[in-house]
Structure 1
Amino acid sequence: MIPSLFVAHGSPLLAIENNEYTKFLTQLGQNMPRPKAVILFSAHWESNVQKVSDVDQYSTIYDFGGFDEALYKIQYPAHGNQQIAKEIEGLFTESGVPFEFDTQRGLDHGAWIVLRLLYPNADIPVISMSVNSRLTPEEQYKIGKTLSALRAQDILVIASGGTVHNLRAVKWNDNGQVDQWALEFEDWLAYHLEKWDLTTLFKYDSLAPNAEIAVPPYGSEHFIPIFYAMGAADDSRNATLLHRSFRYGNLSHSVWQFG
């Protein structure tokens, strides 16, 4: 059964950079079994009701400003898959998960940057999904768990966000030094993910060291996708850290495999 993934999407500059992390993601896409389709939860698509994209071909959304002009010329014209969207409809209905279809929205940079590094040809169908930071971690986990059966069909669930993502704390003049508070948070998170300690993880905001800096209340949408990815692997409950690096002092590039 194909695993699920949590993938940090970092800065939009990753789309045009060639560094340790972009090389890792490119290699990961080449080494993993090719999925039939990708279901992707993006931190940059927030909604109060779960959204499920039902789009034939996606436009590319440039939901950022002030970056290199080359970024705004990138296209990632992935297609959707109506049959899989219908399967998701059935699973959500059966599990009592409220949802709405979206037939218009393109792929935001949390989605297309990750997908383009993993699958540069845009030749794998994508179902884009919103996240809801107003839900409890238990509810976010349940939504992911509802989709776990699709992994048996070689459908890859990806959650795109960032485990340490505080734009008010980043140091754009990167000197290669990593802030101790970010390391402490990441080490705590890794310990409890590997133990699949849901009781503790669901209370990360009060139990994790430096949680108020690593996951500020105004930026929790980047952290919570990890619960969707975990839920999608509830049947196996195995967590593996595939990659961890940092940019700008504390912006983490973490990739977790679940299942």
Structure 2
Amino acid sequence: MMPAFFIAHGAPLLAIEENMYTRFLNQLGKEWPSPKAVVLFSAHWESAVQKVSEVDEYKTIYDFGGFPEALYRIQYPAKGQKEITKEIEELFTKHGITYEVETSRGLDHGAWIVLKMLYPNADVPVIAMSVNPRLTPEEQYKVGKSLAALREKDILMIGSGGTVHNLGALRMVTDDGEVDDWALEFDRWLEKHLKSWDLEALFNYNTLAPAASLAVPPYGNEHFIPIFYAMGAAHNQPTAALIHRSYRYGNLSHSVWQFGGVEK
């Protein structure tokens, strides 16, 4: 059974950098058998109604500005898989999840940066999914849970975002390796409750976790919530392992969590 992953997509520069984190993601893509497809919930695709893509081949979206020209030359022409989109529709209908099919949107950088490092040849079909910050964490988890059966069909589930993602607090100029205490405190709290699959605490992270308003600012919770979609997808195998964590720019967390397939 394929696991579900929560993967931090970091800053767009990751796509043209070589560092500890990019090397980890390159290796991660080789450690599991190539999946039948990837279903990916991206922080950079927000919608009030759950969207599921149905395309033949994705265009590459450059949803950022002010970065080196090399970033805008990257192409990631992944193909869709309409049969799996239909399976997702059936599962959503079965579990009472309202959805809409999207037939033209490309892959945003929350999707293609992660996918390019895992599967650089763009040879694994992708079904792109939106996230809805207006839902409660419990409702987001339910969306992921409705798709848990896909993991039994060699389909990899990914939530792409960031556990600590506060653009106003970043120190892009220095990037000296120093990590803010509040970011560490939040991630350590999160680690404790993810490993114990403490849904009651996790669903109330905004009031219970230290420094939650800094780590997950009200205007930026879309980067945190993909973790609930990924967790939900492993509801039938509720185990969690932190398989990578590093930081850039003072507090930007590069956390990778594996849900399912983890020994207790």
TM-score by length of 2: 0.98
Q: Does 1:213 align with 2:214?
A: yes
Q: Verify: 1:86 aligned to 2:86, yes or no.
A: yes
Matching residue of 1:162:
162
Q: CA deviation at 1:33?
A: 1.9
Tell me the equivalent position of 2:137.
Answer: 137
Following the alignment from structure 2 to structure 1, what is the Cα–Cα distance between the partners of residues 90 and 53? Answer: 14
Cα displacement (A) at 1:32: 1.4
Q: Which amino acid is 2:210 matched to? A: P
Q: How do 1:75-224 and structure 2 match up within 5 A? A: 75-172=75-172, 173-224=174-225
Determine the C-alpha separation between the residues in 2 that align with 1:242 and 1:33: 17
Shift of 1:89: 0.5
Partner SS, residue 205 of structure 1:
helix
Partner Cα distance (1:59, 1:160) in 2? 18
Query: Post-superposition shift, 1:110?
Result: 0.2
Aligned: 1:6 with 2:6: yes
State the partner residue of 1:234. 235
Matched, 1:243 2:244: yes
* One-letter amino acid matched to 2:207: S
Aligned equivalents of 2:33, 2:24: Cα separation in 1: 16
- What is the alpha-carbon root mean square deviation over aligned residues? 0.4
Distance 1:205 1:228 in 2: 17
Amino acid at match of 2:61: I
SS in structure 2 at match of 1:242: strand
CA distance in 2 between partners of 1:49 and 1:200 (Å):
26
Identity score, percent = 70
Q: TM-score, normalised by structure 1?
A: 1.00
Q: Matches of 1:193 and 1:95 in 2, distance apart?
A: 24
Amino acid in structure 1 at the alignment position of 2:253: S
Read off the aligned partner of 1:238 and give its amino acid letter.
Answer: T
Mapped to 1, the partners of 2:79 and 2:176 lie a distance apart of: 40
Structure 1: 5+ residue stretches without partners: none
Contiguous gaps of at least 5 residues in structure 2: none
Match of 1:171, SS state, is coil
1:97 CA displacement: 0.2
Q: Give, as a single letter, the amino acid of the residue that structure 1 aligns with 2:45.
A: W
CA distance, structure 2, for counterparts of residue 82 and residue 23 of structure 1? 31
The aligned counterpart of 1:64 is 64
Paired with 1:33 and 1:180, the residues of 2 have a C-alpha distance of 38
**Where in structure 1 do 4 or more consecutive aligned residues deviate above 3 Å?**
none
Distance 2:31 2:229 in 1: 23
Q: How many residues get paired?
A: 259
Deviation at 1:175, TM superposition (A): 1.1
Q: Distance between the aligned counterparts of 1:164 and 1:215, measured in 2?
A: 6
Cross-structure match for 2:254: 253
Distance, in Å, in 2 between the alignment partners of 1:11 and 1:26 is 17
Per-residue deviation, residues 31-89 of structure 1 (Å, max 9, x unmatched): 11211000000000000000000011000000000001000000000000010000000
